[in-house]
Structure 1
Amino acid sequence: MDFTVELEDMVAMVVSIICGGAIGFEREYKNKSAGFRTIILISLGSTIFTIVSRHGVGADDRISANIITGIGFIGAGVIFKDKISVRGLTTAAVIWTSAAIGMTTGIGYHALALCLTVITLGVLLIVTRVERMIAQLQKEQLLSVTFRDPDFDQIQQLENTLNTKGLSLERLEIAKENNHLMVTFKVSGKKKYLIEMSETLATRPEILSFS
């Protein structure tokens, strides 16, 4: 390999660090699990593997193809699921995108890599405003409530309470098990009202559990 080719590869790695650093800075600023150093190393590592795939002895496209699989394992490690929501999906997607940008620099498409970095940052920065706009719209979710006592009057009382808090309820299913009354609702309302609903349910003594 001559010096010119090595210089081109070093430029590719520098561009990869710049691109990964820009995206990593945004993740670090928002205190995400994969931050500044992590995104840089993911981008740089993808670039290095792509360069090896191009110049290595007996190299072919299998190394580059396996980058996608390997990055998938890293992305899965930052996804957390609890009873309420799934977190880390955006960060996992950023890891995947950063690896793709690193591979782009590895094959010498520096301008394209920088362009993709700007687009990725634009999505990450604009999405917060879009999410705020979406939060103002009506949302629906299923609510399952288990009452301590099999008293049907409690259902109507709960519906009346939630209706006064900006929510609309549709009763879907009622069941009785182990002397407990279980009701499933379809709840519609703005995001802030849905969050307040959880607080309201947690303070009602007649409710054994909800999800």
Structure 2
Amino acid sequence: MDFTVEIKDMIAMVVSILCGGAIGFEREYKNKSAGFRTIILISLGSTIFTIVSQHGAQTDDRISANIITGIGFIGAGVIFKDKISVHGLTTAAVIWTSAAIGMTAGIGYHALALCLTLITLGVLLMVTRVERIIAQLQKEQFLSVTFRDPNFHQIENLESVLQAKGLILERIEIAKDDDHLIVIFKVSGKKELLVEMSETLATRLEIISFS
């Protein structure tokens, strides 16, 4: 490998570190699981593997292609689910995007890598404002509630409580299982009302479980 190629690859790694650092700073600032150092290493690692796939012995672009598979495992590690929602999807997507930016720098498209970094930061910084706007809109979700006793008055009471909070409910299905009533609702309302609904359901003694 000649000196010119080595300088080009070193520039690619520097660009990769700058791009990963910019995105990682935003993630670190928001206290996400994949922060400053992690994103830098992901971006830099992708760049190095891309360079190796171009200049290494027995050059094979499968090395570069397998970066996507490897990054998938890392991304899956930051995703976790609780009973109400899924967390970490955005961070996993950022990891995937950072790897792509690192690969872009690795093949020598430095300006494009920097441009993609700015676009990624723009999306991450704008997402909070957009989510606030979306939160003001009506949202729908399906709610499954298991009542302790097979008493239909419980359903009407729960509907009255939730409707009083500004939610719109529609019964989709009612079933009975081992002396328990299982009711599926379609619920419409603003995001904050849907979050408050989960808190309300958790305090109702007549409800065994909900999802």
**What is the TM-score when the length of structure 2 is the normalising length?**
0.97
Correspondence for 2:86: 86
Cα-to-partner distance string for 1:113-136 (whole Å, 9 max, x where unaligned):
000000000011101111111011
For 1:20 and 1:129, locate their aligned partners in 2 and report how far apart those are by CA, in whole Å.
23
Correspondence for 2:150: 150
Cα offset, 1:10, TM superposition: 0.7
Within 5 Å, give how 1:57-206 maps onto structure 2: 57-206=57-206
Within 5 Å, give how 1:36-75 maps onto structure 2: 36-75=36-75
Cα-to-partner distance string for 1:52-86 (whole Å, 9 max, x where unaligned):
11111110211111111111111111111222111
Please tell me the residue identity of whatever aligns with 2:169: L
For 1:161 and 1:129, locate their aligned partners in 2 and report how far apart those are by CA, in whole Å.
31
Please tell me the residue identity of whatever aligns with 2:119: I
**What is the TM-score when the length of structure 1 is the normalising length?**
0.97
SS of equivalent residue, structure 1 residue 31: coil
Cα offset, 1:176, TM superposition: 1.4
Please tell me the residue identity of whatever aligns with 1:140: E
Q: Return 97-106 or 81-90, whichever deviates more.
A: 81-90
Q: Which residues of structure 2 form unaligned runs of 5+? A: none
SS of equivalent residue, structure 1 residue 103: helix
Q: Which residues of structure 1 form unaligned runs of 5+? A: none
Please tell me the residue identity of whatever aligns with 2:111: A
Within 5 Å, give how 1:24-43 maps onto structure 2: 24-43=24-43
Please tell me the residue identity of whatever aligns with 2:166: G
SS of equivalent residue, structure 2 residue 83: coil
For 1:49 and 1:204, locate their aligned partners in 2 and report how far apart those are by CA, in whole Å.
55
Q: What value does the CA root-mean-square deviation take over the aligned residues?
A: 1.0
Please tell me the residue identity of whatever aligns with 1:3: F
Cα-to-partner distance string for 1:71-109 (whole Å, 9 max, x where unaligned):
111111111122211111111111111111111111111
Correspondence for 2:18: 18
SS of equivalent residue, structure 1 residue 184: strand
Cα offset, 1:14, TM superposition: 0.5
